[in-house]
C-alpha cells in the first residue's frame, strides 16, 4: 500500500510526542503509559490481533471514573492534531521540481484545455469575469470546536510552516519546537467544549471570524492568481470590479424551526456585519496609507486631495474618517435605531470610488507596480465583500407564512387562507399584490407567531438591499408560497425587488417543483416584476432523509433538468441554489466533482450553494486551504458552464428510474415501515444525548415525534458516531443488487464510465462505505441495545456489507478506495485513535442511561468530548 508522505508522518509523530509530553506533565508516566497501551491495542486490533483487541478492551474497562474524561480528551486531541498536520500537508512548501497540488494548478490547466478545444480567448476571459459563485455560510449544530481552540490549532499550523525550511539553524528549530509545545499545552489545558449553547449571534460572529482570519486574505490572493493566469493564457485581465466569488450567510437569518432567530437577532447580525466590515477596511486603509507616500499624482486626484504634499494619504484620510463614522454608527445602532450622519458610508461606490481614483492615478503616473499591490487587493475586497461583509439570507417555513395570512384573512372576515385551494390563494394574493391600499388595518394586533413573521418582514424592508441575499421558503410546494412572502413583504413596506426563493425538499416536493415554477412564471404580473434570475433552492438533506440518497439524488437531477427547460421556455435566467451538507447523506462530497456532475445547462456561469459548519472550518478556516477550495469552485463552475456534461442516454434514465424505485422502497421499508426501527435508532445511537448537548442554537427536532420530526443533521450525525452511516447508503444495496440480478451490470458500467452524475454518486458511496465499520456499529449494539432489537442491527450490518460488496463488484476493486491509497491510509491512521473513542463512547452512553447526572458533569463532558473526537476523526459528519 502507498504510505503517507514521510513529512506528514514526521509532523503527526512530532505533534503526538509533544501532546504526550503535555499529558505526562499533568497526569504522570503511568497515565501516559495507559494511553499508549490503548493506542497500541487499537492498532493491533485493527490488524486482526486478538491479543490487541483484548488489551484495548481490558485497559478501557479498567479506567476509573476520573480517568474517562482525560482519556477521551487525549484521543480527541490526537485526532485534531492529525487533522492539523494533514491540512498543512496539503499546502506545505514544495521542493524544486515537485508538482504543485492539483487545487493550485487546476485553473491554469483548465484554461489551457479550453483554449486547445477552440474557445475564443476574449470570450473565455469575459466568461471568467462574469462568473457568479455565491457560497452561503450556515450554522451547524455539530460544529463542536470552540473558537478559542480553533485559533490555537491555526497557530500550530503556522508553526509547522515555520519549521518547513531546510536552512533553519538548530536554535531556530528549537524555538519552533518550544512554541509548538507551548501551543499544544495551551490547547490541552483549554476546555474543548462550550458549556452553554451558542446563540444565533454567537454563530454569526463565528462566521465573521472565518472571514476575518482566512477569507479576507484568501480572496484577493485567489483573484490575483486568476488574473495572472488569465493574462498569461489569454492576454486579457480580470476586470477590476469582477467578483466571481461572493459570500452570503444564514447565521442570524435562518429561522426555520429555530425560535431563537428573531427579527431582533436578524437586525443585530446585520449591524454587526457592517461593524466588522468597517473595522476590517480600517485596518487595510491604515497599512495602505503607510505605503502610499508618493507625491506624484494625476490632476484628477490632486483636485480631490487639495494642496497636499502627499495627495494619496490626504484622500485616504477622508475615507478613513468615513469608515470610523460607519463603524461608530453601527455600534451605536445596536442599542437602538440611530439616524446615520452624512459621513456614514451607505453605498459600495462611496468606498470603491476614491480607492479606484488612487489606482488610476498611480497607473497614469507610471507607478502601476505600486497600484497592483495592496491597493489592488483592497479593491478586490470591496468588490467581493462590500460594506456589508456577507449578504444575509432570511429563511422561514412556508407553513408560518400561511398561518400568518390565515390569521389576517380571518380577521378581515375573508375566511381561512389555509383552507383555500391553490387557485383561491393565487387569486387573493395577486389581487392584493396589485392593490395600492394596505391589507392590514392599523389596529390589527396579531398573535405572537404572526407578529414575529411581520416583524421579520419589516426588518427586511428596512435593511439596505445590498445587505440581504434571498428570502428562502423552506418546505415550499406551490406558486402561492412565493406570492405569500411577496405580499407579506409588501405589507411591511418593501418597495424594491427581492429574490423570494422556494426550497423544494421532500421527494414529492422535488417531483412537483417544475409544476410549481411553471405556474409561477405563467403569472403575467409575477413575470413583469421579476428582476434578475428566478432562483430555486434544491434541498438535499430532507429529500435524502425522506427517501434515501438513491431516489433523492435522481429526483434532484430530474427537477433541475425540468427547471432549466421551463426557464428557457419563459426566457428567464435560472439560478439554482444547492442546499448541500457536509456528508454524502446530505448531498455532500467533493464540490468540484459534484458541480461537474450537474445536469447540462444547470450551471450557466452561476452557482449558489450552502457551506455548513464544520466544513466551513475544514475548507475555509485557513487562508491557504481556502485558496485551494476557492480555486476548485472557480474551475468547476467555469468548466460546467463551457464544457457541460452530456445529457443522459434514454437507457441510463430508465435504469435510474429503476434504481430510484428500488432504492426508495428498500429505504422506507426499513426507516418508515419496520416497527422496531425508531426504538432501535434511539438505543443504538447517541441521538437522545445529542439533543441535550450544547451543540448549536437550533433545536434538534422541529417537533415531537419519530424520525420524521428529526432535523436531517442530527439524524445523520447520530449514525455517523456509530460508524453505521446508514442514511448515506441505505437503499443503494438493494438498487444495485437488483440491477445486477437483472443482468444490467454492463449498463451500470457504461453509466459509470460516461455519465458524471452516476460516477460521482458511486464515488461518494464508496467513500462513505470506506468510513463505515460493521464491527464498531456492532459494539454499540452489544453495549446499548435491548436483546429483542439486536436482530435488526445485525440485519442492517448485513445490508451494509452487501452495499460494500456490490460497489466492489461495480468498480472491479478488491478493497474500497484501493484506487486512492493515500485516502485509505489516512482513514487507517485515524482508526487507531477513533476505535478507543468509540469503545469509550459506548461505555459512557451506557453509564449515562443507567444513572442521573447533572448537566456539565464529568460524565457529560466526557461524552461530548467523545462526540467531538469522532467528528474530528471522520471530518464530514453532519
Using one digit for the tens of pLDDT, what is the confidence trace for 302-311? 999 988 999 9
Q: Residues 606-627: pLDDT tens digits?
A: 999 999 877 888 889 889 999 9
CA 375/CA 367 separation, integer angstroms: 12
| Grid cell locating 848 | 449515562
Mean pLDDT of 96-116: 89
CA-nearest of 321, 404, 315 to 361 is 315
What values do phi and psi take at 190, rounded to 5? -105, 130
CA-nearest of 872, 751, 797, 845 to 83 is 872
| Grid cell locating 37 | 497501551
Q: What is the CA angle 290-229-612, rounded to 5?
A: 80
Question: How does DSSP classify residue 436?
Answer: S
CA 675/CA 412 separation, integer angstroms: 46
CA-nearest of 778, 877, 844 to 71 is 844
The pLDDT confidence band at residue 41, using thresholds 50, 70 and 90, is confident
The pLDDT confidence band at residue 98, using thresholds 50, 70 and 90, is confident
CA 382/CA 466 separation, integer angstroms: 13
Burial grade of 824 (CB within 10 A; 0-12, 13-18, 19 or more): middle
CB atoms within 10 A of CB 385: 24
Q: What is the pLDDT of residue 671?
A: 94
pTM of the model: 0.92
Q: What is the CA angle 677-681-686, rounded to 5?
A: 175
3-state secondary structure at position 166: coil
Residue 439 Cα to chain centre, angstroms: 39
Residue of 831 and 489 predicted with greater confidence: 489
Mean pLDDT of 510-529: 95
Q: What is the pLDDT of residue 630?
A: 95
Q: What is the pLDDT of residue 140?
A: 61
CA 10/CA 46 separation, integer angstroms: 22
Q: Which residues have C-beta within 8 Å of that of residue 572, sequence separation ≥ 6?
A: 521, 527, 530, 533, 534
| Grid cell locating 210 | 472565518
The pLDDT confidence band at residue 401, using thresholds 50, 70 and 90, is very high
- Give Cα separations from 74 to 147, 715, 873 (angstroms): 19, 27, 13
CB atoms within 10 A of CB 413: 6
Which of the listed ranges 7-16, 382-391, 684-693 does the model predict with the highest average pLDDT? 382-391
Q: How many helices (H) and strands (E) does the chain have?
A: 39, 8
The pLDDT confidence band at residue 706, using thresholds 50, 70 and 90, is low
Q: What CATH architecture is 263-388?
A: Up-down Bundle (1.20)
Topology alike, domains 263-388 and 395-584: no
- 854 with 692: CB under 8 angstroms? no
Q: What is the pLDDT of residue 581?
A: 54
CA-nearest of 517, 526, 581, 522 to 552 is 581
What values do phi and psi take at 610, rounded to 5? -85, 145
Buried (b) or exposed (e) across 458-493, using 16+ Cβ within 10 A?
Answer: bbbbebeeebbbbbbbbbbbbbbbbbbbbbbbbbbe
Q: Residues 443-502: pLDDT tens digits?
A: 899 999 999 999 999 999 999 999 999 999 999 999 999 999 999 999 999 999 999 999
- 184 with 19: CB under 8 angstroms? yes
Q: What is the pLDDT of residue 294?
A: 95
CA 769/CA 558 separation, integer angstroms: 26
CA 709/CA 258 separation, integer angstroms: 14
- Report the range of poorest mean pLDDT among 39-53, 304-318, 500-514: 39-53
Q: Which residues have C-beta within 8 Å of that of residue 554, sequence separation ≥ 6?
A: 656, 657, 659, 660
| Grid cell locating 321 | 474618517
Q: Residues 710-735: pLDDT tens digits?
A: 555 678 889 999 999 999 999 999 99
- 90 with 823: CB under 8 angstroms? no
The count of C-alpha atoms lying within 13 angstroms of the C-alpha of 831, restricted to the half-sphere facing its C-beta, is 20
The percent of residues in the chain predicted with pLDDT above 90, rounded, is 71
CA 601/CA 278 separation, integer angstroms: 39
- 721 with 695: CB under 8 angstroms? no
Q: What is the pLDDT of residue 166?
A: 77
Tell me the catalytic residues.
Answer: 140, 545
The pLDDT confidence band at residue 654, using thresholds 50, 70 and 90, is very high
Mean pLDDT of 750-763: 95
Asked whether the predicted pLDDT for residue 703 surpasses 60, the reply is no
Asked whether the predicted pLDDT for residue 874 surpasses 90, the reply is no
| Grid cell locating 178 | 518550544
- 129 with 239: CB under 8 angstroms? yes
Asked whether the predicted pLDDT for residue 99 surpasses 50, the reply is yes
DSSP 39-51: HHHHHHHHTT-HH
Average pLDDT, the chain: 90
CB atoms within 10 A of CB 738: 18
CB atoms within 10 A of CB 443: 5
Asked whether the predicted pLDDT for residue 165 surpasses 90, the reply is no
Mean pLDDT of 173-180: 94
- 836 with 71: CB under 8 angstroms? yes
Q: Which residues have C-beta within 8 Å of that of residue 815, sequence separation ≥ 6?
A: 808, 824
Return the domain boundaries, the chain: 1-99+147-190+822-878, 263-388, 395-584, 650-821
Asked whether the predicted pLDDT for residue 692 surpasses 90, the reply is no
The pLDDT confidence band at residue 695, using thresholds 50, 70 and 90, is low
Residue of 275 and 90 predicted with greater confidence: 275
- Give Cα separations from 686 to 379, 830, 848 (angstroms): 48, 21, 11
Outline where 163-262 has alpha helix (H): 170-188, 200-210, 216-234
The pLDDT confidence band at residue 264, using thresholds 50, 70 and 90, is very high
CATH topology of domain 395-584: TIM Barrel (3.20.20)
Q: What is the pLDDT of residue 225?
A: 96
DSSP 779-801: HHHHHHS-GGGHHHHHHHHHHHH
CA-nearest of 768, 770, 786, 775 to 839 is 775
Asked whether the predicted pLDDT for residue 1 surpasses 50, the reply is no
The position carrying cell 494619496 is 312
- Give Cα separations from 649 to 339, 724, 818 (angstroms): 61, 34, 29
Q: What is the pLDDT of residue 432?
A: 97
* Bridge partners, 471 (sequence order): 394, 500
The pLDDT confidence band at residue 857, using thresholds 50, 70 and 90, is confident
What values do phi and psi take at 827, rounded to 5? -65, -40
Burial grade of 444 (CB within 10 A; 0-12, 13-18, 19 or more): middle
Residue of 90 and 118 predicted with greater confidence: 118
The pLDDT confidence band at residue 582, using thresholds 50, 70 and 90, is very low
Amino acid at each position: 500500500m502507498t504510505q503517507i508522505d514521510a513529512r506528514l508522518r514526521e509532523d503527526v509523530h512530532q505533534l503526538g510526542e509533544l501532546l504526550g509530553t503535555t499529558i505526562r506533565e499533568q497526569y504522570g508516566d503511568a497515565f501516559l503509559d495507559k494511553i499508549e497501551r490503548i493506542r497500541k491495542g487499537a492498532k493491533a486490533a485493527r490488524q486482526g490481533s486478538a491479543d490487541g483487541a483484548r488489551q484495548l478492551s481490558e485497559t478501557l474497562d479498567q479506567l476509573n471514573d476520573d480517568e474517562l474524561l482525560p482519556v477521551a480528551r487525549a484521543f480527541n486531541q490526537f485526532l485534531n492534531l492529525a487533522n492539523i498536520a494533514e491540512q498543512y500537508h496539503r499546502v506545505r512548501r514544495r521542493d524544486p521540481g515537485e508538482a504543485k497540488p492539483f487545487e493550485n494548478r487546476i485553473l491554469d490547466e483548465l484554461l489551457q484545455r479550453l483554449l486547445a478545444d477552440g474557445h475564443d480567448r476574449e470570450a473565455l476571459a469575459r466568461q471568467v469575469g462574469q462568473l457568479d459563485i455565491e457560497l452561503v455560510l450556515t450554522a451547524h449544530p455539530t460544529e463542536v470546536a470552540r473558537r478559542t481552540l480553533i485559533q490555537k490549532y491555526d497557530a500550530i499550523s503556522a508553526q509547522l510552516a515555520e519549521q518547513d525550511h531546510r536552512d533553519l539553524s538548530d536554535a531556530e528549530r528549537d524555538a519552533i519546537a518550544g512554541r509548538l509545545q507551548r501551543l499544544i499545552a495551551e490547547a490541552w489545558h483549554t476546555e474543548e467544549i462550550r458549556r452553554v449553547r451558542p446563540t444565533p449571534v454567537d454563530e454569526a460572529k463565528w462566521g465573521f471570524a472565518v472571514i476575518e482570519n482566512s477569507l479576507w486574505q484568501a480572496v484577493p490572493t485567489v483573484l490575483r492568481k486568476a488574473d495572472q493566469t488569465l493574462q498569461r493564457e489569454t492576454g486579457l485581465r480580470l476586470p477590476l470590479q469582477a467578483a466571481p466569488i461572493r459570500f452570503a450567510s444564514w447565521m442570524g437569518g435562518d429561522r426555520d424551526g429555530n425560535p431563537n432567530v428573531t427579527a431582533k437577532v436578524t437586525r443585530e447580525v446585520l449591524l454587526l456585519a457592517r461593524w466588522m466590515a468597517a473595522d476590517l477596511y480600517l485596518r487595510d486603509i491604515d497599512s495602505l496609507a503607510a505605503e502610499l507616500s508618493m507625491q506624484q499624482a494625476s490632476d484628477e486626484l490632486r483636485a480631490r486631495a487639495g494642496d497636499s504634499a502627499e495627495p494619496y494619504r490626504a484622500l485616504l484620510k477622508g475615507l478613513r474618517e468615513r469608515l470610523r463614522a460607519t463603524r461608530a454608527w453601527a455600534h451605536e445602532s445596536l442599542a437602538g435605531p440611530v439616524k446615520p450622519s452624512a459621513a456614514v458610508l451607505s453605498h459600495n461606490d462611496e468606498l470603491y470610488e476614491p480607492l479606484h481614483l488612487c489606482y488610476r492615478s498611480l497607473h497614469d503616473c507610471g507607478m502601476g507596480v505600486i497600484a497592483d499591490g495592496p491597493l489592488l487587493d483592497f479593491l478586490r475586497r470591496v468588490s467581493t465583500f462590500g460594506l456589508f461583509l456577507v449578504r444575509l439570507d432570511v429563511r422561514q417555513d412556508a407553513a408560518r407564512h400561511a398561518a400568518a395570512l390565515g390569521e389576517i384573512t380571518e380577521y378581515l372576515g375573508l375566511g381561512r387562507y389555509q383552507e383555500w385551494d391553490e387557485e383561491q390563494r393565487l387569486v387573493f394574493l395577486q389581487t392584493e399584490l396589485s392593490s395600492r391600499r394596505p391589507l392590514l388595518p392599523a389596529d390589527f394586533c396579531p398573535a405572537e407567531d404572526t407578529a414575529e413573521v411581520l416583524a421579520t418582514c419589516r426588518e427586511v424592508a428596512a435593511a439596505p438591499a445590498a445587505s440581504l441575499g434571498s428570502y428562502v421558503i423552506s418546505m415550499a410546494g406551490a406558486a402561492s408560497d412565493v406570492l405569500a412572502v411577496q405580499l407579506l413583504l409588501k405589507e411591511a413596506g418593501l418597495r424594491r425587488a427581492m429574490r423570494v426563493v422556494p426550497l423544494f425538499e421532500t421527494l414529492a416536493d422535488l417531483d412537483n417543483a417544475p409544476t410549481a415554477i411553471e405556474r409561477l412564471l405563467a403569472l403575467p404580473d409575477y413575470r413583469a416584476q421579476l428582476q434578475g434570475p428566478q432562483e430555486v433552492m434544491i434541498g438535499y438533506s430532507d429529500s435524502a432523509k425522506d427517501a434515501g440518497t438513491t431516489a433523492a439524488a435522481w429526483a434532484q437531477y430530474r427537477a433541475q433538468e425540468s427547471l432549466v427547460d421551463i426557464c428557457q421556455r419563459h426566457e428567464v435566467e435560472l439560478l439554482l441554489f444547492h442546499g448541500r451538507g457536509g456528508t454524502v447523506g446530505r448531498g455532500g462530497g467533493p464540490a468540484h466533482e459534484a458541480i461537474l456532475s450537474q445536469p447540462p445547462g444547470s450551471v450557466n456561469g452561476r452557482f449558489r450553494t450552502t457551506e455548513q459548519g464544520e466544513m466551513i472550518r475544514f475548507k475555509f478556516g485557513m487562508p491557504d486551504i481556502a485558496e485551494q477550495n476557492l480555486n476548485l469552485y472557480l474551475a468547476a463552475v467555469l468548466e460546467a458552464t463551457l464544457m457541460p456534461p452530456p445529457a443522459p442516454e434514454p437507457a441510463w434514465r430508465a435504469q435510474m428510474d429503476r434504481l430510484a424505485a428500488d432504492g426508495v422502497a428498500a429505504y422506507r421499508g426499513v426507516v418508515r415501515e419496520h416497527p422496531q426501527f425508531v426504538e432501535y435508532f434511539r438505543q443504538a445511537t447517541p441521538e437522545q444525548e445529542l439533543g441535550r448537548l450544547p451543540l448549536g442554537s437550533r433545536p434538534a427536532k422541529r417537533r415531537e415525534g419519530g424520525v420524521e420530526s428529526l432535523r436531517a443533521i442530527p439524524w445523520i450525525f447520530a449514525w455517523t458516531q456509530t460508524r453505521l452511516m446508514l442514511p448515506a447508503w441505505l437503499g443503494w444495496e438493494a438498487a444495485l443488487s437488483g440491477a445486477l440480478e437483472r443482468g444490467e451490470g454492463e449498463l451500470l458500467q457504461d453509466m459509470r464510465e460516461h455519465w458524471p452524475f452516476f460516477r460521482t454518486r458511486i464515488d461518494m458511496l464508496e467513500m462513505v462505505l470506506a468510513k463505515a465499520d460493521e464491527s464498531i456499529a456492532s459494539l454499540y449494539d452489544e453495549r446499548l441495545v435491548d436483546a429483542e432489537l439486536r436482530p435488526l442491527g445485525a440485519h442492517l450490518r448485513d445490508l451494509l456489507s452487501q452495499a460494500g460488496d456490490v460497489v466492489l463488484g461495480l468498480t472491479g476493486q478488491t478493497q474500497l478506495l484501493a484506487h486512492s491509497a493515500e485516502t485509505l491510509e489516512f482513514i487507517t491512521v485515524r482508526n487507531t485513535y477513533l476505535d478507543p473513542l468509540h469503545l469509550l463512547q459506548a461505555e459512557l452512553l451506557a453509564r449515562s442511561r443507567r444513572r442521573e447526572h447533572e448537566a456539565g458533569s464529568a460524565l457529560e463532558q466526557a461524552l461530548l468530548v467523545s462526540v467531538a473526537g469522532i467528528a474530528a476523526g471522520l471530518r464530514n459528519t453532519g
